[in-house]
Each structure stands twice: as C-alpha cells, then as structure tokens.
Amino acid sequence: MSVKVAVVTGSNKGIGFSIVKGLCKRFDGIVYLTSRDDARGRAAVAQLNALGLSPHYHQLDVVDRASVLRFSDHIKEKYGGIDILVNNAAIANSAEWYNSYEENKNIVEINYKSILTIQELLFPLVRNGGRILNISSDCGHLSNIKNKYWIGRLSNKNLTLNDINEFVQWFLEKSKNGNLSKDDIADNATFAAYRVAKVAVSALTMLQQKELEGRNICVNSMHPGLVRTDMTLGAGFYSADEAAETPLYLVLEAPATLKGSYIWYDKKVLDWYDCNADYYFKTATLRK
Ligand SMILES: NC(=O)c1ccc[n+]([C@@H]2O[C@H](COP(=O)([O-])OP(=O)(O)OC[C@H]3O[C@@H](n4cnc5c(N)ncnc54)[C@H](OP(=O)(O)O)[C@@H]3O)[C@@H](O)[C@H]2O)c1
C-alpha cells in the first residue's frame, strides 16, 4: 500500500502551523509543511523538529502557478498522490477596515483565485476517499452579503463557477470604480475583499464536492474562530493550537457523510444559505 500524504498550505505559522503539528502527532503518514518563503518554512520545520516532530518541507506559493506545478510534480514523482489537503494560506489587511483596489485584488488573488489553481493542479492528485478542507472564515458565511441580487445568485442550488467568478469580478469592479455601497456587504462593508473572497471559497467548496463526489472525496469549508495569530494582530479568543482542533477533526475523524458543508469552529454544521443569520463577522469583536 502506498504511503499516505497530508499537505497544508501556508503552514509556516499560525493555524496552518498548528494543523501541521497536530497531523505530525495524529496522522499515520507523511505531513508536508509548505510556505511561500523558503527560509520561513524551514525555520518552522526546525521548530517542530525541536518538539520531536518531523514534517517534510516544500516551497509552495499558492498564487505562483509555477510553484504549484513544481509542488504537484514533486508529489506525483515521490508519492503519487495526496490523502489530505488543507487549503489554509490567506492574507487579511487587519489594520485597515477599508482597502485600496490593489490591496483588494491581492486579497482576492491569494484567498480565492489560488484555490482555483490548486483545484486544477493538485485536486487530480487527491486519492479516492481523500479529504480536502478549505479554511474559510465567519467572513465566508453568506450572511456577509447584503446585496439581494448576489444573495439570489449565490444561493441558487444550480450555482456555477461562472456565478462565483462574476460575483468576485463585480466586487473588484466596484472597488476599482470606488462605488461599492456600504449596504452591499455586512458591517458597513468593512474588510469587504476578505468577506467576498471567503464567501467565494465557501460557495466554491460546494461545487468542488459535486465534482469529486464520484471519487468519494469529502470537501468542506470551515470557520476556525477568532484566533490569536499575526492575521488578527494577536486579537482573538483562541490559540492557534486550540483552533487547529476542528480542522484536525474534519480531516482525520469526521464521518465521511460530512461533505460539501460549512462548519463552525465548534464543529457545528451551519446552514450556509441562511443569509439573515447572525454569523457574519463583526469588527466590534476585534475591540473586545
Ligand atoms: N486568525 C483568525 O482569527 C482567522 C479567522 C477566520 C479565518 N482565518 C483563516 O485561517 C487561515 C489561517 O490564518 P492565520 O490566522 O493562521 O493567519 P497567519 O498567521 O497570517 O498565517 C497565514 C499563512 O498563510 C501564508 N500565506 C499567505 N500568502 C501565501 C501565499 N501566496 N502562498 C502560500 N502561503 C501564503 C502566510 O505565509 P507568510 O508567513 O509568508 O506570510 C502564513 O503562513 C486563513 O485562511 C485565514 O483566512 C483566520
């Protein structure tokens, strides 16, 4: 039988690092810590080595197609496939509640579009019966969107990739032209690009599940809670190790019937389509 392989993107620090740490302890196989920056990645591996853990390392910048291809070729050649894939890499401009067009574009590229590249280049390597987890956010629940037209299109059960891409494009055009209404997105459209990108990730998760259904692969998205990492400038209710517990549960222990779902940090499965729910991110929580 071939050796099992787990991969976590953006895992040189924060929640991704803690997921790798947990996988090294609990997964019966090889665990890949990956990072866009080689030195930061190798320093993170050294930290785990000091704890007696031995992740493998490979460079992986999720927005650099050549980097994703190199990683894909490496896995194909060495192990032939992936059993667990956690799409964790992301950015947020935590200090700024409203961002420039260039910043918004960058957030969308890293947090959403990169997952399309990974879907194209890494999903074919995910073995039948494997598990894929997209780390989303409370910003990824549909209740973050207040624009009625987009709520309607995104909650259509026959959603297509074109719908999601047009939604993202609509936002970027509004951002470029400076005419996004504060009523279109929850909480006065604060962190708008991050919310739009994460809503797109959670919507995409359901399409990915449909695509991989025949190969018995589970694809879910989840909100890890407000976690004390560099992303939140240290604000939050949970440590990265605590926040890694639900992702670890989802890729290691959850029943295979749990798929195509949006899951909260406490393992509760939420109704992603409930656009009037109170699950959207509130900037006020950062001050608590
Ligand atoms: N912290 C929270 O409260 C919270 C809440 C909801 C959702 N999340 C989600 O949880 C996940 C982890 O966040 P975190 O809080 O652990 O953030 P973090 O500490 O800032 O870590 C983010 C990781 O992503 C990496 N990354 C960024 N761009 C990348 C790229 N192009 N290619 C590869 N890696 C890249 C970063 O690498 P560098 O070190 O090179 O920058 C870093 O390793 C993200 O998906 C985030 O959106 C976090």
Distance from the alpha carbon of residue 195 to the mean position of ligand 1, in angstroms:
15
- Which atom of ligand 1 lies at the shortest distance from residue 135's CA? 45
Find the CATH number of the domain harbouring 199: 3.40.50.720
Active site residue 194: yes
Q: What does the pLDDT read at residue 94?
A: 72
- pLDDT averages per 10-residue partition of the chain, 288 residues: 93 99 98 98 98 98 98 98 98 88 97 98 98 98 98 97 98 97 97 98 98 98 97 95 98 98 98 97 84
Which residue's alpha carbon is nearest to atom 32 within ligand 1?
A: 61
Distances (CA, A) of 107 to 92, 155, 160, 229: 7, 23, 22, 17
Q: Is the pTM for the entire model greater than 0.95?
A: yes
* Catalytic-role residue among 32, 194, 265, 280: 194
Please measure the distance between the N-terminal and C-terminal CA atoms of the chain and give it in whole angstroms: 51
pLDDT of 183 reads 97
Closest by Cα among 246, 272, 275 to 261: 272
Show the domain range for 17: 5-287
Closest protein CA for atom 23 of ligand 1: 10
Instruction: Output the pLDDT for position 286.
Output: 82
pLDDT reported for residue 260: 98
Atom 17, ligand 1: residue with shortest CA distance: 231
- Pocket residues: Cβ below 6 A from ligand 1: 9-10, 12-16, 35-37, 40, 61-63, 88-91, 110, 135, 137, 223-224, 226-227, 229-232, 236
The 3-state secondary structure of 117-179 reads HHHHHCHHHEEEEEEEEEECCHHHCHHHECCHHHHHHHCCCCCCHHHHHHHHHHHHHHHHHCC
Q: Give residue 86's pLDDT.
A: 99
At 278, give phi and psi (nearest 5°). -100, 35
pLDDT value, residue 288: 59
Given a contact cutoff of 8 angstroms between Cβ atoms, the answer to whether 90 and 97 are in contact is no
Instruction: Report the domain count for the chain.
Output: 1
Looking at residue 152, its pLDDT comes to 98
